[in-house]
């Protein structure tokens, strides 16, 4: 099976590496070719255009920044026009559900299949092959994609086209809001004179336990906000959730509040820090370092 990966960034790189390690023939493309060249030493072929990259592909994986980028690469750079009939396009980017449904429809007109299959687990999960993969599309295409998903993580079919993106929005709502809850709670404890690291240790294993308290809480204790998942990306996902909620006439006041908080953090220079850096914005509001 020939697999092409379009987008060799923080997530695309380790995912492509795992596909090569699993024995797949991998072709890589990235807008900045130097990023794709990092895969050459792993035996991947590097293409200089997206259209060149997909000509012989059986499966095309997109891991791009947003829906507009996916749209531009698939339909603005000649990719859709040169795909072989029957090619399966797996969009693992995080985009709006409506965009995913539109892409699926347009690819079907070209005789190609589509899954929207965004992921959760960050760079740690991508490197370890433990990503949570949320797939929307036809069940037959999901079954066909199983050998591709296996080296990357655990895949779940959650419904028709667009449903994978709905699941990712739900994930990002929970992640973004929980980062805020952990940040605010630890800062309150520190403001009152408690040892923040020990408070985190004390509440672990109780009902407050979560992956966020474990991983992101430790980053807060260590003041380690090096980018794994950027504040700007978290805000993009929350805004996509709000746009989707508005289209469904669904009220999401908690998500709306947190979108404003992340936006404020970005306005204060935190755009390219890890999304756990919401802690920094909340500390700033409270006059804390």
Tokens representing 92? 């693992």
Q: pLDDT tens digit string along 121-138?
A: 988 899 999 999 999 999
DSSP conformational letter for 84: P
Catalytic residues: 168
Give the chain's radius of gyration (CA, Å): 20
Q: Cα–Cα distance between 202 and 221 in angstroms, integer? A: 14
- Rounded to a whole number, what is the distance in angstroms from the first to the last CA of the chain? 52
Q: Where is 250: in which H helix or E strand?
A: none
**What is the β-pairing status of strands 153-159 and 131-136?**
parallel
Fold of 2-160: Rossmann fold (3.40.50)
Kindly report the average pLDDT of the chain as a whole number: 97
* C-alpha pair distances (Å), 129 with each of 47, 151, 265: 25, 6, 31
Q: pLDDT tens digit string along 186-242?
A: 999 999 999 999 999 999 999 999 999 999 999 999 999 999 889 999 999 999 999
User: Which CATH number is 166-285's, of 1.10.1040.10, 3.40.50.1220, 3.20.20.120, 2.102.10.10?
Assistant: 1.10.1040.10
Q: pLDDT tens digit string along 88-105?
A: 999 999 999 999 999 999
Instruction: Identify how many contiguous H helices and E strands the chain contains and give both numbers.
Output: 16, 9
**Residue 135, CA atoms < 13 Å, CB-side half-sphere:** 24
Do residues 154 and 133 touch, judged by C-beta distance below 8 A? yes
Q: Cα–Cα distance between 34 and 38 in angstroms, integer? A: 7
Quick one: pLDDT band at residue 289, thresholds 50, 70, 90?
confident
CATH 1.10.1040.10 residue window(s) in the chain: 166-285
> Whole-model pTM?
0.92
> Which residue has better confidence, 2 or 122?
2
Quick one: pLDDT band at residue 172, thresholds 50, 70, 90?
very high
CATH 3.40.50.720 residue window(s) in the chain: 2-160
**Is the pLDDT score of 47 beyond 90?**
yes
């Amino acid at each position: 099976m020939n697999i092409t990966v379009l987008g060799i960034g923080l997530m695309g790189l380790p995912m492509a590496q795992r596909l090569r390690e699993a024995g797949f023939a991998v072709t890589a493309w990235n807008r900045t070719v130097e990023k794709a060249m990092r895969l050459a030493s792993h035996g991947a072929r590097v293409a200089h255009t997206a259209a060149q990259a997909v000509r012989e592909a059986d499966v095309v994986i997109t891991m791009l920044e947003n829906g507009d980028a996916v749209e531009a690469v698939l339909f603005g750079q000649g990719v859709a026009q040169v795909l072989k009939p029957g090619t399966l396009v797996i969009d693992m980017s995080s985009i709006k559900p409506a965009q995913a449904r539109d892409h699926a429809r347009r690819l079907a007109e070209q005789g190609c299949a589509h899954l929207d299959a965004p992921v959760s687990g960050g760079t740690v999960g991508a490197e370890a092959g433990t990503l949570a993969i949320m797939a929307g599309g036809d069940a037959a295409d999901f079954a066909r994609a199983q050998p591709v998903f296996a080296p990357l993580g655990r895949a779940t079919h959650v419904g028709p086209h667009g449903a994978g993106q709905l699941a990712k929005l739900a994930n990002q709502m929970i992640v973004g809001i929980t980062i805020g809850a952990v940040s605010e709670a630890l800062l309150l404890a520190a403001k009152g004179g408690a040892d923040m690291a020990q408070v985190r240790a004390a509440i672990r294993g109780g009902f407050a336990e979560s992956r966020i308290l474990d991983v992101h809480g430790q980053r807060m204790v260590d003041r380690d906000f090096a980018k794994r998942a950027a504040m700007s990306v978290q805000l993009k996902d929350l805004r996509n959730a709000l746009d989707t909620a508005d289209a469904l006439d669904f009220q999401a006041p908690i998500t709306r509040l947190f979108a404003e908080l992340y936006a404020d953090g970005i306005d204060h220079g935190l755009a390219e820090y890890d999304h756990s850096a919401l802690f920094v914005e909340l500390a700033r509001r409270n006059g804390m370092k």
